Amino acid sequence: MIEVENLTKRFGSKLAVDHLSFTVEKGEVLGFLGPNGAGKSTTMRMVTGFLPPTSGSIRICGTSVIDDPKAAKRHIGYLPESAPLYNDMTVTGFLNFGAEIRGLSGAAKKEAVDKAIETCFLESVARQSIDTLSKGYRHRTCLAQSLLHDPEVLILDEPTDGLDPNQKHEVRQLIRRLGETKVVLFSTHILEEVEAACTRAVIVDRGKIVVDGTPEELKAKSGTGSLTDLFRQVTTRDTEPEAPEEDAA
């Protein structure tokens, strides 16, 4: 389970994340939607312990990310935006390396790598050098590394960004399957991801949650049955000036 309460992040005078609160349960796929610059990636980085919050609390499977980050991270599989790869390694070599970093060895390491390759449909390129892979296969390799330790919680930042329509479909179907047994949180600015992969979605605008509900509830709130219309209604376009911050009480 992911529990986020009053999460806030400031960069100097810029308020990037503004008292966000939400939970994600096992068996739930929560889409974290919003325009570019809404605070999605900043929130992901705080939830995974990569970036410290200014204030608020984050708990992963009951463990505080702030107070005990090492223990909390053991529960997390993380796919960051533009995840790095070692181009001179093969897919299998890279996954073996990732498994060793997570403390796996011997039969357990082999089993974990084989399962990640099978889950992410990497069998045909397993012995191939990463620098020869298409973008879709590189993306799947990055996703596979996040699954090596069979985490209870998956946090995926823009997991389909830059993929072609066929690759997006495959990744969305994989996210849905993983969400049947895990807690999944993924950020996106692509509205079709909501119906394709999510059991629930929130829309964030300028660091605040402005809508939270199932895909059906979100469409009903639009008044037209269109997620695009709802998105335009509740988010601020980047041509509009920022509202001044309210004085603290």
pLDDT tens, residue order, the chain (249 aa): 999 999 999 999 999 999 999 999 999 999 999 888 889 989 999 999 999 999 999 999 999 999 999 999 999 999 987 778 999 999 999 999 999 999 999 999 999 999 999 999 899 999 999 999 988 889 889 999 999 999 999 999 888 877 888 888 888 899 999 999 999 999 888 888 888 899 999 999 999 999 999 999 999 998 898 899 999 999 976 545 555 555 443
Residue 157 and residue 40 share a domain: yes
Question: Tokens 């939830």 label which residue?
Answer: 47
d(CA 154, CA 167): 19
pLDDT attached to residue 249:
39
Residue 159 and residue 46 share a domain: yes
Residue 127 and residue 99 share a domain: yes
77 forms beta bridges with 154
pLDDT attached to residue 242:
56
Residue 43 maps to a domain: yes
Domain count, the chain: 2
DSSP label at residue 120 = T
Q: Give residue 23's Cα distance to chain centre.
A: 14
Residue 158 and residue 46 share a domain: yes
Residue 33 maps to a domain: yes
Q: Which domain holds residue 17?
A: 1-75+153-164+177-209
Burial tier of 39 (Cβ tally within 10 Å: 0-12, 13-18, 19+): buried
The closest alpha carbon to 191, from 209, 183, 206, 203, belongs to 203
Give backbone dihedrals phi and psi of 105, rounded to 5 degrees, phi first.
-155, 165
Residue 158 and residue 43 share a domain: yes
DSSP label at residue 90 = B
Residue 128 maps to a domain: yes
The closest alpha carbon to 80, from 35, 109, 116, 42, belongs to 42
Residue 36 and residue 61 share a domain: yes
Residue 146 and residue 94 share a domain: yes
Residue 196 and residue 146 share a domain: no
Residue 227 maps to a domain: no
Under 8 Å between Cβ of 33 and 189: yes
Residue 159 and residue 64 share a domain: yes
Residue 185 maps to a domain: yes
Residue 129 and residue 6 share a domain: no
The closest alpha carbon to 34, from 242, 234, 198, 244, belongs to 234
Residue 134 and residue 158 share a domain: no
Residue 219 maps to a domain: no
What region, left, alpha or beta, does residue 13 occupy, with left being phi > 0 and alpha being psi -120 to 50 degrees? alpha
The closest alpha carbon to 187, from 115, 82, 95, belongs to 82
Residue 134 and residue 41 share a domain: no
Task: Specify the CATH number for the domain of residue 16.
Answer: 3.40.50.300
Residue 46 maps to a domain: yes
